[in-house]
Each structure stands twice: as structure tokens, then as C-alpha cells.
Amino acid sequence: MTGSPPTALRPQHPSPRSLRGLAEEFGFEVRGELGDLEVSGVGLASGSVRAGDLYVGVPGRNAHGAQFAGAARESGAVALLTDETGASIAEGAGLPVLVTADARSALGSVAAWIHRTEENPASTFAVTGTNGKTSVVYLLYGILRQLGVTAGLTSTAERRIGDEAVTSSLTTPEASELHALLARMREVDVRAVAIEVSAQALSRHRVDGLVFDVAGFTNLSHDHLDDYADLDQYFEAKRELFQPERARRGVVTVDSAWGDRLVAESRIPVTTLTTTSERAADWRVTVLDEQAAFTVFALEGPDGRRIETKVPLLGWYMAANAALAIVMLTEAGYDLDRIAAVLERDGGIDAYIPGRAERISGDRGPVVYIDYGHSPDAFLQTLGAIRRVTEGRVIMLFGADGDRDTTKRAEMGAIAARGSDVVVITDFHPRNEDPAAIRAALIAGAREAVPDREIHEIPDPRAAFRAALALAQDGDAILYAGPGHEDYHEVKGVKIPYSAREDSKQALRDAGWLS
């Protein structure tokens, strides 16, 4: 199975715009006859093109998108936007061509113009950081719905409008998809949208054409050094979100020097948040109770403002994520007292976050958590949270991405060994790498950190989970880190169906721990 791409959410009743008007608006060179042609959408992949679309051909890793202009025309594209090289490639494809120096960098503004994004009345929230982005997006979405606001979101896990959802293929969708999604949301009167914004999204123009009302920052730690030369460059990519071209206001968690630096280098008004007593900030989070099923916290801010509530998730960091969501809402004009009232009415924040420290076990037997975390800091925080609520042993099952940042693998193994009693290492998206080599790097990191730690190497994830379960007893906990919400296992370009959540539930049933 190679898997089919998710179906993008597009406006059902698009309002076409003049192709000639588009060319004039952006000063594109025109080759061919535009006549009275109109454009109603944008397609970046030829397979996603619909009738009335402008097809955008950009250079890719293996081919130039303009090579597929003919296929795009057959699918209904009315014109091609590309660079000079693409225009030469697409000669004879039968489409009028709009030429610009860099079609990818133009894509966001073009998509915004076609879909009339600036007419969208919805408040927009952007969340960036290494860990916690998805959680904050879902917490924003959950609180907004508790407030009675029709809300939407786009995250690593899914794109969602009310109860309508499609799975995601990128943390942040390409600009063509994002602006179409916002247009669809406008049709159904969505009034607030939470968007997960990765560093890559900023570097690759995926959120161009948008100025967010409020941007939030969670944290920054070791990750994505396959895309960025070092942590400084990774930080600089995220810093772009806190500039007036990208957002109007910001909320920054200042638990580390990275947060301090972001505040100093931001060019928009910024409100600060901390979870520690040692740091100065506008808002402070204090964890009052930490249980396996929920975390109670207080959030205190300027002028004596205070809210005490709970989030139905494990860990102090989920309280920090929830606090960030609440402060972002207040920065957008939502009243803190109103937020406090609806949360008190509902017994806390009502939110479900797929695959984030998600408890899938029942009331008997070991407690099993499925988590999407795949960075050293995510391992550290989640293991620590589980340890604090677990009477017995902690067993950790994980692997590492192939064709991704290799520099974090030894540290991942080391943190797993220090934070758990038993380590089980398996394969997780080896892609085009040798899976045995990936496992060896993880094991080496674990053994160097804790030489006598009990370690099991089991390549097949199904067998690995069952082995972990066989080692566990009532009162123990198993953390299965990496796959989270995903429903496939990628090997040499093939996405093999595999849901860690569903397979682990079946193993629990087979063991008699889950009915």
C-alpha cells in the first residue's frame, strides 16, 4: 500500500476571480491568451488540481512541477504559474502561462488573493515551538467550542472544521491548501482558527499571505537539524512568526533562554508566560495536582487576574500548553472571567488530543500511553510525568525516524534509559535507511547512559509492544513513543498500514486487560 493523499477541505462555492486581474495584481509576465478566463482555486500538485484551478509548477527534489502541466490541464487547470525554467518546460502543454522569478514564494499571496483571505472575519491563532504545538492547537479549539465559538484547526494530526475532519500529510499545509481551507471555513461561519506552524512552514512559504492575530511559542529544543544547520538557524526560522509581516501580537513561554531571546528579537507586542517561580513573566502557571488522568493548575496574570482549572491530560507541560492557549485567547480579546466561567461549568477544559500521551488502557493492568513525541525533550518530559504517577515500573518502547535528524538519536536512547526501568527499541519509519543501524544508534546511547539498563531490541513494532506488555504487571506503565496518531509505518517509500493505538488496544484485549 502506498497510501492515498488526504482529501483537502476546499470551499464548496468558490467565487471565481479574473485571471487577467491576477496577472495585473502581481505583475506577472503573461505568455498566451488569457481572454476572459477565471480562476477559482490553486493546485500545487497536478493530482490535486480541480476544474478552474491555477496550477503552480515549482522545482521539486526529483522534477520540476511544470513537467506535469499537461496532466494539470486535463484535470481542469485554466493556467500555469511558474518560473522561467518551468515556462520553457511547459511549452506546448496547452495552458496560458504566468511567469515569475519564484513561484513558490508567490504561492501564498496568490492563493490568498484567489480565495479572498483578507475578507475572512475569523480570528487566527498560530502556534510554534519544538514540542506542544499540536496540543496547544487542540486546547485552543476545545476552549473556543466551550465558549460557543464555531472553530477550526489545522495540525499535524488533522484539519478540522467543527466535526468535519481530514487527516494531515504535513504539519502545516501548503499555502494553496491552507487558504482553500480558510475559505471553506468562512463558508460555514467559522469565527476562530488555530493553526500549527512548523519552522519548515515558515522557511518554505506555507503561511505566506496570512497575518495572524496572535502567535504563541511553546519551547525550543533539539530537533530538525536535518533541515537546519544548528539550533540558532532553527530558532531564526521560528522567530519569523513574531514579526509584523506574520502576526499582530505574540505570547511567548520564557522558561528558557530561547524564550528570552524571542522576546528580545520580536518586532510585535509580546506577552510572556512562565511555569517557574525563578523567572519574571506577565503570566505564571502553577501546577496544583498531577494525576494520570488530569492536571490541575492555576494561571495568574496582570492586575490580579487568576484562573484555576484542569486539563484532562497527563503532565505539567500540558498545564503549560493549556495556559498558553488561555493567554492567547485573552490577547485576542476573549474575557478571562468568561473563560473561567465556562471551564468551571464543564469541570475543566474539554479537549481530546489524538496520540499525545493518550491513555489507551482500561482500569485493570498496566497503564499504556501512546505518544507522538520523537525528540529528546519530549521523551524527557513525558517520562518524567509518567514516573510521577506510576507506582510500579516504567517501560519505554520507541524507535527513531529514518531519513531525519540523526544527531538526536543517541540522546533519545540516553533519556529513555535514564527515565525508564526497561527499554524496548523497535523500528519506526526507517524509510530509506537501514533500520538495524538506527536501532544500533539508539541502543548505543542507552547503554552509554545506563550500562546495566534492561534493553530489548525487537524490530517489528507489533511484536515489540507485545513483548513490552508481557514484561508489565498491574501498576506498571508503558510509554509507546513516536507513532502517536499515525496510521502507517513507512519503509522504502511504502506506507504500510499500522496504527499503534489500534494494535496496542488489540494486544491489551488479547492479554485480558481490556474488554
Decide the pairing of beta strands 17-18 and 38-39.
antiparallel
H runs (alpha helix) in 364-499: 376-388, 409-419, 435-449, 461-471
pLDDT of residue 157: 81
Cell of 356: 499525545
Domain boundaries 17-115, CATH class: alpha beta
Give the mean pLDDT of 387-414.
94
pLDDT at 238 over 50: yes
Cα 282 → chain centroid: 26
pLDDT of residue 4: 36
pTM for this prediction: 0.91
Which of helix, strand or coil describes residue 424? strand
What does the alpha-carbon distance between residue 107 and residue 154 come to, in Å, rounded to a whole number? 19
- Tell me the sheet residues that pair with 393: none
Give the mean pLDDT of 272-280.
94
pLDDT at 336 over 90: yes
pLDDT of residue 171: 63
Q: Which long-range contacts (CB under 8 A, 24 or more apart) does 271-278 make?
A: 271/327, 271/331, 273/320, 273/323, 273/324, 273/327, 275/316, 275/319, 275/320, 275/323
Q: What residue has cell string 514579526?
A: 243
pLDDT of residue 101: 97
* pLDDT above 70 as % of the chain: 97
CATH tag, 358-510 = 3.90.190.20
pLDDT of residue 444: 97
Q: What angle separates helix 19-26 from helix 103-115, to the nearest 10 degrees? A: 130
Cα separation values, 118 from 38, 372, 404, Å: 19, 34, 36
Cα separation values, 381 from 102, 224, 279, 293, 351, Å: 41, 18, 19, 16, 20
455 touches 441 (CB < 8 A):
no
- Tell me the sheet residues that pair with 369: 359, 479
Q: What residue has cell string 505570547?
A: 251
pLDDT of residue 170: 62
Q: Which candidate, 195, 208, 185, 213, places its Cα nearest to that of 123? A: 213
pLDDT at 3 over 90: no
Every domain of the chain and the residues it spans: 17-115, 117-346, 358-510
CATH tag, 117-346 = 3.40.1190.10
Chain-wide mean pLDDT for the chain? 93
H runs (alpha helix) in 163-248: 175-187, 199-203, 231-239
pLDDT at 5 over 50: no
pLDDT 10s digits, 278-333: 899 999 999 999 999 999 999 999 999 999 999 999 999 999 999 999 999 999 99
pLDDT 10s digits, 93-113: 999 999 999 999 999 999 999
Give the mean pLDDT of 259-285.
97
pLDDT of residue 356: 82
> What residues contact residue 499 under an 8 Å CB cut-off, 6+ apart?
483, 486, 487
Give the mean pLDDT of 408-434.
96
Q: Do domains 17-115 and 358-510 have the same CATH topology?
A: no
What is the rounded end-to-end Cα distance, in angstroms, of the chain? 30
213 touches 247 (CB < 8 A):
yes
Give the mean pLDDT of 117-130.
96
Cell of 146: 466551550
408 touches 225 (CB < 8 A):
yes
The number of C-alpha atoms within 13 Å of 213 and in the hemisphere containing its C-beta is 19
Give the mean pLDDT of 449-464.
97
pLDDT 10s digits, 143-184: 999 999 999 999 988 889 877 877 766 667 899 999 999 999
Question: Between these two residues, 515 and 119, which has the higher pLDDT value?
Answer: 119
